[in-house]
Structures are given as structure tokens and as C-alpha cells.
Amino acid sequence: MSVRHFLTLLDLSPAELNGLIDRAITLKAMHRRQEPHDFFHGKTLGMIFEKSSTRTRVSFEVAMNHFGGASIFLSPRDTQLGRGEPIEDSARVLSRMVDAVMIRTFSHSTVETFAAHSAVPVINALTDDFHPCQLLADIQTYVEHRGSIQGKRVVWVGDGNNMCNSYINAARQFDFELVVSCPEGYEPRADLVERERGRVTIERDPRKAAEGAQLLVTDVWASMGQEEEQASREKAFADYQVSPALMDCAAAEALFMHCLPAHRGEEISHDMLDDPRAVVWDEAENRLHAQKALLEFLLIGPR
């Protein structure tokens, strides 16, 4: 069988993704019970980071520790990747030594090129276009708090960025409705919106968008690599802050998520993360459990 990669949520079938969420919940319970699950003795995860990270790095490293395996942090600053060694060559070499590779980078084509030349599974740990690992944690968190997300109304508020694009893929794979509330000029990828016509809509007014929503999600206004646009983005997104007042427009049982890091006073109000509807700390923890399920799936197969 050819090697499986996880570059976007579309690399796994809806049934495989739902199985993975169930497994993440099981692995979390095993971890809570301190039940050993060290299935990966002698296995190594290579972790290439061309952008900063707290949650992604720690969750993958801890996942490999819990599994009895190891991880290697690789930054372009001190590998030949930073000195221009081609991605193709790096993929061929690294995949002869490690058992899986996780990459956080800028262009999505970098992870595609790496995967095309890798003999082992490649995981997208965030590109400019997608952040699929975060979506596994988000869906797990929703399921734990409210049950299946199928048929629910999910509202994305803010920038049509990598997270928003991944929410569009998630809407398709987990079968929910997605409303994107963003200012003009900051829409998610047009091809994705077009592909999911009927399931994904754009509503400029965040209060209207939030009506009847079961989940509200937002993210920073300026993503990594867009730092110089901070000032212009603060102006463009001024009406798109998520606050307890905006949450009040949503359904009574609505939850709030944010992949973090968050900027209080920008995309969220100062009090949003203290609101009981915010489940961001569970969401952050679930990166660990969901990625364990993903690593197992890619290295061993469905459990």
C-alpha cells in the first residue's frame, strides 16, 4: 500500500476522520488513566519548523514521548534546508531515517513537494493555506462538549486565512454548514468557497452570521508572515471582534473556539476567553490527543 500523508483534511475519508476523532477521545481517556500506550518504541518523528510554534511543537513532541518514541526538532536556521538544499533531496534523505515527518512552513506547495518525494507519512503542521491538525482538535473538542457536529451551523469570524480554509474542508468532511463573516478583500480561497457552494456562505455582518450558530470560531487578524500588514488589518477587521455580546446572538448552547495564540483587544474582546462558552483550553489540549490518533493512523492504520 502506498504511504498516506495528511496535507489537508481531504487526505482522509469522512469515515476515517470520524474514526480518528473517536480514537483521540479514547487515547485521552487512556492518558488520564495513566494507561501505557507506548506503541512506537524505536520510531522517530522529524519536525521541520520554518515558522514559530508553541502548541504544535509541544503536542507533537509530547505525543511521541507518550508513545515511547522520539522526535527531532529541525529548524532551517541550523539545517541545510536553510542553506538551499532542495526540498526533494531533504525529503528523500530524511525519510530514509525517520518514520514520519511533520512540517510547518509558508507555501503549501512545499509540503506537497516534500510528500511527493517522501517514503514516510508527511503531516502538514500549518502552511499559509491550511492548518488541518488544528481542525482535528477543534472537532474533537466540539464532539466532547456537544456531540456530533454534523448538520450544525458553524460561523467563522475574521480573516479568511489558513484556519478558515481548513474549516471549509472540515465542513465538507464532517458535514456541517459554514458561514464566513469577513470584510471584503479578506475572503478564504475562492476555489474552496466555490467547491462547497450551498454548504459555505459569506455574510459580511457578524451579528447576522452568528444568529443560530452552534459554534463561533476566530483567529488572529495578521497571520505569521503578515506582520507588516498589522496596522491595515486592524482597521479592516475593526468590526469583526468576537465578544460575549456577539456570542449572545448565537444559539444558547453555542461554543467559542480559537486556535491560539489570541490577541485580546483585537480579534477577541478582553473578556472573551473567560466566558463559559469559550472552550479554548480544552481545544489546545486536544492538539495532543488528536495528533496521537493521527500519528497512529498514519504509522499503524485505523485502530
Q: Catalytic residue numbers?
A: 104, 131, 134, 219, 259, 287
Q: How far is the CB of 47 from ligand CP (least distance, A)?
A: 11
Among the listed residues 13, 54, 107, 150, the single contact to ligand CP using CB under 6 A:
54
Among the listed residues 134, 141, 165, 173, the single contact to ligand CP using CB under 6 A:
134
Rounded to whole angstroms, the Cα distance separating 80 from 63 reads 26
Q: How far is the CB of 53 from ligand CP (least distance, A)?
A: 3
Q: Which helix (H) or strand (E) holds 63?
A: helix 55-66
Q: Closer to ligand NVA by CB, 126 or 209: give it.
A: 126
For residue 40, give the amino acid letter.
F
Task: Report phi then psi at 178, rounded to 5.
Answer: -125, 125
Full DSSP string of 145-186: HHS--TT-EEEEES--SHHHHHHHHHHHHHT-EEEEE--TT-
Rounded to whole angstroms, the Cα distance separating 125 from 53 reads 10
For residue 114, give the amino acid letter.
F
Q: Closer to ligand NVA by CB, 126 or 216: give it.
A: 126
Stretch of 29-37, 65-73, 159-167, 190-198 contacting ligand NVA, by CB under 6 A: 159-167
163 binds, among ligand CP, ligand NVA, none (CB under 5 to 8 A by kind): ligand NVA
Of 134, 145, 133, nearest in space to 255 by CA? 145
Interface size with ligand NVA, residues (CB under 6 A):
10
Among the listed residues 105, 223, 269, 291, the single contact to ligand NVA using CB under 6 A:
223
255 neighbors 145 (Cβ within 8 angstroms): yes
Query: What are 216's strand-pairing partners?
Result: 155, 256
Of 275, 289, 230, nearest in space to 26 by CA? 289
By CB under 6 A, residue 53 contacts ligand CP: yes
223 binds, among ligand CP, ligand NVA, none (CB under 5 to 8 A by kind): ligand NVA
54 binds, among ligand CP, ligand NVA, none (CB under 5 to 8 A by kind): ligand CP
163-222: contacts with ligand CP (CB under 6 A): none
Task: Give contact residues for ligand NVA (rule: CB under 6 A).
Answer: 126, 131, 161-163, 219-220, 223-224, 259
Task: Give contact residues for ligand CP (rule: CB under 6 A).
Answer: 53-56, 126, 134, 259-260
